[in-house]
Amino acid sequence: MADGNENGAAIAIGPRIVAAGGFDTLYREGMSLIEDVASYLDGEGRGDSRILSREASFIYATESMRLTTRLMQLASWLLLQRAVNEGEITKENAHAEKEKVKFSATPSERGGPGYDQLPPALRDFIDKGDRLFDRVMQFDVLERGRMSEMDPGTANGIADQLARLKAAFGRS
């Protein structure tokens, strides 16, 4: 039976992917990045920021605030998803809570005067934060079963993989 179970109902594969080991890796990487960024900003980053030009110092403050905000929002999402995976809260409760987490500090245009003067460590953390954000958004779309909202390249890649799985298991 195509795209369904014995009852003919569609099977949502996204939540199964999210509940599988892929989420555990994302969770560990996300929490590790949060700890690394906090350690940097509280330690080495303070020294790095003191030697910046006035222009770069302003950008440092802005970008470190954006990064911190984005990572806290991502941590909220990760903790909610982990609670669902561990059966601590229902998916419905998690969805309601996730709706309250607005990703206001999303990756945006980077650059401008002084951006290149930022410490390489901060720019690296910003890039890692942007990549984590993208991965969490992909998981969120999969978890909610809304592949139509996914970036077309990613959605097509997943659709291709699903087609291969169906072909391998003799389903059309």
Instruction: Quick: pLDDT tens for 68-120.
Output: 998 999 999 999 989 988 899 988 888 888 777 777 655 666 667 778 899 99
Mean pLDDT of the 29-45 span: 97
Report the C-alpha gap between 133 and 90 in whole angstroms. 23
Span 138-168, pLDDT tens digits: 888 877 665 555 455 555 555 555 566 666 6
pTM: 0.71
Place of tokens 């290149």: 116
Name the more confident of 67 and 2: 67
Token pair, residue 164, equals 């291969």
Angle at CA 2, nearest 5°, toward 11 and 151? 60
Mean pLDDT of the chain: 78
CB 68 within 8 A of CB 74: no
